[in-house]
Amino acid sequence: MPLHVSTHPLVAHKLAILRDRTTEPKKFRELVRELTWLLGYEAMADLATRPEPIETPLEPMTAARLEPKVGLIPILRAGLGMVDAMLELLPTAEVWHIGLYRDERTLKPVEYYNKLPDAASVQVCLVLDPMLATGGSAAATIDILKEWGAARVKQVSLIGAPEGMATLSAAHPDVDIHVAAMDSHLNERGYIVPGLGDAGDRQFGTFAGPASEPGHGPDEETAEVVRRLQRNLGD
């Protein structure tokens, strides 16, 4: 499972502003879009092309056209903020939504929405989720896409944690992961540290106050799940 951590200085600069707790939702959404554009550019660098004859205003030539059909799979709801930037890069991409939420007690993904057609209509799928935390949602989504018939899948996230990378690697070693940064670890609530908090809440302005802030009030069952992920990472 190749891991690609961006080294672009613009990515580092924009990520610093994104992480800042004083960044307001409007600016946060803009930065998510800009970072996704930069990461998407890198993630699609190895897509195949086919030759196609065209005519310029001066003479005929053989140009290159993108060969595979590409599908964008945003994980609801935080992944929605990454779609527009990807569509700017590739306006012909199909967009299919998969809804998963993370059970706060077990940290396991629970599927609640899936609008994929009966058979795969694209060859390459880009899974869009700002945070690769435990890796459970990413692995479950890719399970669905492979069963659907997707030939190739890539994960595009803004920030990842070692626990999530290990989980996704074990479940799908053939999936490329593209991130802006790989952070230190998960806290007891399963949030990435240092991270940026809850990406969905910060995009959509739904922060509920100190009790819901990442790092506050872990229950023992959730903490034990995180400890198990970290023990597995150390094996």
Longest dimension (CA), the chain: 70
pLDDT at 111: 78
Tokens of 134: 């435990």
pLDDT at 221: 56
> Does the structure show a pLDDT above 50 at 172?
yes
Lowest mean pLDDT, pick from 12-16, 36-40, 74-78, 157-161: 74-78
Contact 130, 103 (CB under 8 A): no
Contact 125, 144 (CB under 8 A): no
> Does the structure show a pLDDT above 80 at 210?
no
pLDDT at 188: 84
Question: Per residue in 20-72, pLDDT tens?
Answer: 999 999 999 999 999 999 999 999 999 999 999 999 999 999 999 999 999 99
Q: How many Cβ atoms sit within 10 Å of the Cβ of residue 185?
A: 16
By the 10 Å C-beta count (0-12 exposed, 13-18 middle, 19+ buried), 101 is classed as middle
pLDDT at 63: 97
3-state SS, one letter per residue, for 12-43: HHHHHHHHCCCCCHHHHHHHHHHHHHHHHHHH
Q: What is the mean pLDDT of residues 137-149?
A: 91
pLDDT at 49: 96
DSSP designation for 140: H
Question: Per residue in 82-99, pLDDT tens?
Answer: 999 999 999 999 999 888
Rounded CA-CA distance 156/79 in Å is 10
Domain ranges across the chain: 3-47+64-234
By the 10 Å C-beta count (0-12 exposed, 13-18 middle, 19+ buried), 119 is classed as exposed
pLDDT at 75: 87
> Does the structure show a pLDDT above 70 at 133?
yes
pLDDT at 167: 93
**Class in CATH terms, 3-47+64-234:** alpha beta
